[in-house]
Amino acid sequence: MRIKKLFITPMFLLTLTGVVACGNSKKADNTDAAEKQVVVKAPAFNADSAYAYVQAQTDFGPRVPNTQAHKECGEYLAKQLEKFGAKVYNQYADLEAWNGTILKARNIIGAYKPESKKRVMLCAHWDSRPYADYDADEKNHRKPIDGANDGASGVGVLLEIARQIQQKAPELGVDIIFFDAEDYGTPEWHTGAYKPHDWCLGSQYWGRTPHVSGYYARYGILLDMVGGKGGTFYYEPYSYRTARKEVKKIWKKAHELGYGSYFIMEEGSEVTDDHVYVNQLARIPCVDIINYDPTCETSSFGPTWHTVNDNISNIDRNTLKAVGQTVMDVIYNEK
């Protein structure tokens, strides 16, 4: 029997490995250098557009769960996400508030590239508070608030980002989540028994029952009170402990873009907000970009927080722009 011999000479092997090695190293050198240098410029965030989305929400009146304004605004938000090309999920849930009231809650999720494994989530609460319990006038303590900053601002920024994603998508998938029933926590004037975990009811529900089973994202960014006049954003300590890499990335990007006077690289005060439940229940590190005012005597969230003055006249397009543009430049640079 003849055995066909395949002659592999040492010279042939050398040449082969040489070519391969050379090809590899050249390619590696080029892409490495390119990946390090290329900073993607995100599309321009339109602050007028974001402002209009904030106003559209406050025009419904206070979006307190179980009211008509809340119901109508929920419809509006889901329609907007659909119009901007997202796959929309609605989560309806009956959630029990601090006083036993059952809240007819609705989390609204808009997914871009839902098939992609590489994702980030952007979130804000869309409900507004039933009590202006920090108002200077005691007569207002049981009145609901417009929540132009506390609620509508974060949602307004995210609607504008959704509109931008439809025009030019970033590489990875994005989920925009509007949490309900964040702001129905125990009022200051309550004196009786206290029910724990009384804030952030919508995000607690979502954390236990995500809109897609086994849902995962690399990280989340929560926007809370991101449109107030003179707004400033300090490192929020819970975020800084649990999502430090992302906090640093966001604040660095803000400074590169010229928003260093908004994004202060110092710690502010710790907040129990939706990001805590996103992190604890869904195990997704989440950064809270939230107004912190070190000068205000009544509240670290600023003088209009949980007062009837948290209305559209308190909203500044420049603050919306600083936050919206920063978030966009961060996510458009994810590979």
The whole-angstrom separation of Cα 159 and Cα 320 is: 12
Total binding residues for ligand AHN by CB under 6 A? 8
The whole-angstrom separation of Cα 136 and Cα 233 is: 24
Binds 318, which of ligand AHN, Zn ion, none (CB < 5 to 8 A, cut-off by type)? none
**What is 77-92 written as a DSSP string?**
HHHHHHHTTPEEEEEE
The whole-angstrom separation of Cα 331 and Cα 293 is: 27
Q: Please, are residues 330 and 289 in contact by the beta-carbon 8 Å criterion?
A: no
Q: Residue 148 — φ and ψ, nearest 5°?
A: -65, -45
The whole-angstrom separation of Cα 233 and Cα 190 is: 30
- Please pick, from the candidates 127, 135, 146, 150, the single residue that binds ligand AHN as defined by CB under 6 A: 150
288 binds ligand AHN (CB under 6 A): no
Q: Closest distance between ligand AHN and the C-beta of residue 271, in Å? A: 5
Give contact residues for Zn ion (rule: CB under 5 A): 129, 150, 183
Binds 272, which of ligand AHN, Zn ion, none (CB < 5 to 8 A, cut-off by type)? ligand AHN
Nearest to 231 by CA among 310, 176, 329: 310
- Find the binding residues for ligand AHN in span 7-66 (CB under 6 A): none
272 binds ligand AHN (CB under 6 A): yes
Q: Closest distance between ligand AHN and the C-beta of residue 58, in Å? A: 15
Q: Closest distance between Zn ion and the C-beta of residue 183, in Å? A: 4
Q: Is 256 helix (H, G, I), strand (E, B) or coil?
A: helix
- Please pick, from the candidates 236, 246, 273, 329, the single residue that binds ligand AHN as defined by CB under 6 A: 273
- Find the binding residues for ligand AHN in span 193-212 (CB under 6 A): 199
Q: Please, are residues 91 and 106 in contact by the beta-carbon 8 Å criterion?
A: yes
- Please pick, from the candidates 127, 224, 293, 329, the single residue that binds ligand AHN as defined by CB under 6 A: 224
- Residues forming contacts to ligand AHN in the complex (CB under 6 A) are 150, 183, 185, 199, 224, 271-273
